[in-house]
Structure 1
Amino acid sequence: MQLKVGELAKRSGLTVRALHHYHAIGLLSPSARAENGYRLYGRDDIARLHQIQALRRFGLSLAEIGAFLDQPGVPLAGIVARQIAALDRQIEQAAQLRARLAQLHGQLLGGAEPELADWLNTLELMTMYDKYFSQDELDRLPMYRSSQSGSPDADWLALIAEVRAQIDAGVAPEAQRPRELATRWMTLLVRDTGGDPRLLVKLNAMYEREPSMQEHVGISPAMRDYVLRAFSESKLLVYEKYLTPGEIRHLRAHYDDRAAEWPQLMADARDAIDAGHAPGSPAGQALARRWMTLFSSYAGKDPATHAKFRQAMMSEPGLTAGTWASDELLGFMRQSMASLAQAR
């Protein structure tokens, strides 16, 4: 059997335009040619079209279908599993939206008139969170659950207002009051990420890439930088009690050079712990090397200076306040670094 494109379109229920598109992208091409030059679809071409239509009913994209048909080694089960996972996410998102609609419906039936703008803001936040976090992560993210309550977090509202007042008054971030506020800020952030640095990494990515997120929460990049500078100063003042003037100068000159890399490193360490890697394993030692590289970027290379930092960490609980460096994570990293030192 050999069919022209119009005949195949009529029998298959597709449009000629769709078949031309399949041809253009290399998904289905007529393999025969009539004496008058017309391209014809043969038996194998028609069989391939049947497969394409069947796979389309699974919800696969044309690109996925092409990859499956052109590479027999590509397992269909894996492709279908990804589609199931995608559908599961859509179902979860639809369930969340339904819950918010039900809440709104209940408020309206009860005579309340919720602010439409606030409700829409909540839905927009839901959409943003869904782009960066899995449902399991959202279930472990207190900040997300709070954002869905419909009521702003009183702790954050008060703290943001206090920080803004300090900025408006021209108070330097190194001053005592901004330092106190910064510690409160970071402690709240640890609370609202469940103490999980992996959630912090994703939250930071969302904040950086979604300008509307900054508007929703009322935290501008300038305010965030002010808080981080004040928080760094609170740590520097503690370290200074243990260091010489020269060591302090080096610390102050380099403390923030690679500070942005710490959350990802702690997230990776958390992954290693949860995966059951031993501190002395290759994964643990690789983390130890990265940790020492970041630490040395502000502490220098002198082992004697490193000992002073370790003494400060053991003597000053405030150094880990407002950070994601839990006792478990720090213990794992100490053992990893000890293992790395023994291996040298």
Structure 2
Amino acid sequence: MMLKVGELARRSGLTVRTLHHYDSIGLLKPSGRSDAGYRLYNRDDVARLHQVQALRRFGMALADIGQFLAKPGTSLPDLIARQIDSLDRQIAEAAKLREQLAALRGQLLAGEEPELATWLTTLEQMTVYDKYFSKEELAQLPIYNDPAAPEEWTALIEAVGQNMAAGVPPSDPSVQALAEKWMATFSRQAGHSFDIMQRLDNMWSREEEYRKQSGVTFEMRNYIAAASGQGKLALYAKYMRPEEMETMHKHFRTRAHEWPGLITEIRQQMAANPSPLAPEARVLAQRWYALFTDMVGNAPDVRERFRKALENEPALNAGRMMSDDVLNFLRQAHAAA
């Protein structure tokens, strides 16, 4: 039995575009073609797709998956055994939580007041963090594990709230210093990982209860973002010309919000296909170049002065999303385009 690409996409839960991409990078080549030229996949192809998806779930990059599967002696039974072990751990954790919830419900129905430790144990097991991070990631995540983290954030949130209540503008140097401390703390407690920072921000944005517990409001985040932007613009002003600063101020007011989404797309593309020569990479590089040009203008040496600012001002790199690996990827893709 041979499956067309559309049928395989439907039954595997993937997209046709993903399967085409796997074919283009040599990760999953169809064993046949129909008379009309459609890709056809047999049992062995589907088995290989199972391996690819299993390794993706274990966090392996596509480039590494191809190398791994090319090694002699790669064992499908061993890979499935790893999947079973992972599922067994998830089932055990779910069963433990169910048992805890059943006991808690029983106490409440009997008119008993559960102990503090019982509530805390249940909360720990159903924590919202599990929806966004693996157990391994949580074990290494400072914001989750560091006992001092809650006190740090409480102090920062109180300070920001006081400034907002007093009507202190984001352009005030004291607020900019507070924003710099805020971003540095966020970066450090996220392990200086943009991916972790992005997921923490997604969790905060989507989980209303978590947002309430954190004490950080949308207004507070916007206030910090405005102060951080003003503070960084003041540093850039040491290297850029007045007319270039006017361009940067306009960009920060009108288009700065586009950067996080674009960088997330770029990182997703790098994870799916690390080659800067891919057509998707070239399109993203063109979007990056256009947005960057909108920020700094077209002066011949403006990019050199922008780079010097980043090199000489450590505060400009606090919480910076555009890491060196992303920048190198974009430069190569843009050169190819």
TM-score range, shorter chain: 0.5 to 0.7
**Which residue does 1:131 correspond to in 2?**
131
State the one-letter code of the partner of 1:139: A
**Which residue does 1:12 correspond to in 2?**
none
Shift of 1:172: 0.5
For residues 317-336 of structure 1, what are the structure 2 equivalents within 5 Å? 317-325=314-322, 329-330=323-324, 332-336=325-329
**Which residue does 2:216 correspond to in 1?**
219
Residue 203 to residue 333, structure 1, CA distance change in 2 (3 Å):
closer
Shift of 1:321: 2.4
Q: Please, what TM-score do these two structures have when normalized by structure 1?
A: 0.59
Are 1:166 and 2:131 matched, yes or no? Answer: no
Q: Structure 2 residue aligned with 1:297, among 279, 294, 298?
A: 294
Find the aligned partners of 1:97 and 1:240 in 2 and give their Cα distance: 58
**Which residue does 2:90 correspond to in 1?**
89
Find the aligned partners of 1:194 and 1:260 in 2 and give their Cα distance: 23
Q: Which moves more between the two structures, 261-270 or 306-315? A: 261-270
Residue 139 to residue 293, structure 1, CA distance change in 2 (3 Å):
farther
Kept in 1, the 8 Å contact 2:142–2:149? The answer is: no
**Which residue does 1:180 correspond to in 2?**
177
Find the aligned partners of 1:118 and 1:92 in 2 and give their Cα distance: 17
Match of 1:195, SS state, is coil
For residues 54-73 of structure 1, what are the structure 2 equivalents within 5 Å? none
Q: After superposition, what is the alpha-carbon deviation per residue over 1:208-252, rounded to whole angstroms, capped at 9, x for unaligned?
A: 111111111111111111111111111011112222222211111
State the one-letter code of the partner of 1:296: T
Find the aligned partners of 2:293 and 2:98 in 1 and give their Cα distance: 48
**Which residue does 2:75 correspond to in 1?**
none
**Which residue does 2:245 correspond to in 1?**
248
Q: How many residues align structurally?
A: 252
**Which residue does 1:315 correspond to in 2?**
312
Match of 1:194, SS state, is coil
Find the aligned partners of 1:300 and 1:341 in 2 and give their Cα distance: 17
Are 1:194 and 2:194 matched, yes or no? Answer: no
Find the aligned partners of 1:96 and 1:142 in 2 and give their Cα distance: 24
Kept in 1, the 8 Å contact 2:286–2:334? The answer is: no
Match of 2:222, SS state, is helix
Kept in 2, the 8 Å contact 1:197–1:267? The answer is: no
User: Which has the larger Rg?
Assistant: 1
Shift of 1:132: 1.8
Q: Which moves more between the two structures, 128-137 or 268-277? A: 268-277
Residue 122 to residue 298, structure 1, CA distance change in 2 (3 Å):
farther
Shift of 1:85: 4.3
Match of 1:153, SS state, is helix
Q: Kindly, what percent of the aligned residue pairs are identical?
A: 29
Residue 341 to residue 290, structure 1, CA distance change in 2 (3 Å):
closer
Kept in 2, the 8 Å contact 1:287–1:336? The answer is: no
Residue 186 to residue 196, structure 1, CA distance change in 2 (3 Å):
same
Find the aligned partners of 1:190 and 1:214 in 2 and give their Cα distance: 18
